[in-house]
């Protein structure tokens, strides 16, 4: 890429993977925890991120956090382990008796994760407005079946001052009102794990594949998301 990537309007972050953990807008490399790998395949390019046990990526959140936020990515599910963190920007939970290994403060930032439900994997968003947290759980609509949903799926979520929305392949799978995000203490972005800031409920590393991760400081519209497919 060599600095030749032209970000879209509001785009703050882009990881194409392709055998590298570089973020191309800032030209920086992820901090690698554990031993994540590469998939030998990808939705675009040939070598997506491949998760592994006790493994994930982090970046500082400088320049990524605005009054609105969106993330989009391609994802190929590995349902073992049967719950995992996918993207987390959260605060340190220093008052937790198990800190730093056990953290779960949800009054600021967001947590995007999956967990088992009726044989499938339901994808959920939790976001904090500064005083309380809100849950966006589409239930069966926001669930992938590991037996049949074996191909790449485009996943997006958006956070604005009025609502949060989750999309699969450009279609709404969860939507609800929200009063706006608070970023107090949210200095770390975790990719493909809940660790270190969202661990109390065992949302650890995700062994799935991840490709084409984009972040934005605006709430994308459904039309903008569908144009990515």
54-82 residue pLDDT tens: 999 999 999 999 999 999 999 999 999 99
75 is a domain residue: yes
Range(s) of the domain holding residue 177: 58-98+105-204+212-226
- Identify whether 50 is part of a domain: no
> Does 149 fall in a domain?
yes
Say what the pLDDT of residue 46 is.
86
Report the run of H or E that residue 222 belongs to, with start and end: helix 222-226
Pairwise CA distance, residues 15 & 49, whole Å = 10
Digit-coded pLDDT (tens) for 99-141: 999 999 999 999 999 999 999 999 999 999 999 999 999 999 9
Structural domain total, the chain = 1
159: domain CATH number?
2.60.120.200
DSSP 141: G
Query: What letters, b where the CB count within 10 A reaches 16 and e where it falls short, cover 20-38?
Result: bbbbbbeeeebeebeebeb
- How many residues would you count in the chain? 229
Distance CA(217)–CA(144), nearest Å, equals 27
Within-domain flag for 216: yes
- Position 47 in a domain: no
pTM for the full model? 0.97
Is the per-residue pLDDT at 1 higher than 60? no
Determine the pLDDT at residue 4: 80
Q: Does a structural domain hold residue 113?
A: yes
Residue 181 tokens read as 């995000």
Residue 20 within a domain = no
**Residues 90-100 pLDDT 10s:** 999 999 999 99
């Amino acid at each position: 890429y060599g600095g030749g990537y032209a970000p879209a309007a509001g785009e703050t972050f882009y990881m194409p993977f392709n055998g590298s953990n570089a973020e191309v807008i800032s030209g920086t490399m992820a901090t690698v925890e554990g031993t994540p790998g590469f998939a030998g395949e990808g939705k675009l390019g040939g070598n997506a991120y491949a998760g592994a046990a006790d493994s994930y990526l982090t970046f500082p959140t400088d320049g990524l956090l605005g009054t609105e936020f969106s993330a989009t990515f391609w994802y190929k599910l590995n349902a073992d382990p049967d719950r995992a963190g996918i993207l987390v920007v959260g605060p340190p939970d220093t008052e937790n008796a198990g800190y730093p290994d056990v953290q779960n403060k949800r009054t600021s930032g967001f947590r995007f994760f999956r967990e088992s439900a009726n044989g499938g994997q339901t994808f959920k968003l939790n976001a904090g407005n500064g005083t309380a947290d809100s849950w966006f759980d589409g239930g069966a609509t926001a669930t992938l079946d590991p037996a049949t949903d074996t191909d790449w799926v485009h996943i997006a979520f958006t956070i604005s001052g009025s609502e949060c929305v989750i999309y699969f392949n450009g279609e709404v799978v969860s939507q609800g009102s929200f009063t706006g995000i608070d970023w107090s203490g949210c200095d770390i972005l975790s990719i493909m794990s809940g660790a270190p800031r969202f661990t109390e409920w065992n949302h650890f590393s995700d062994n799935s594949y991840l490709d084409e991760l984009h972040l934005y400081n605006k709430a994308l519209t459904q039309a903008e998301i569908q144009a990515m497919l």
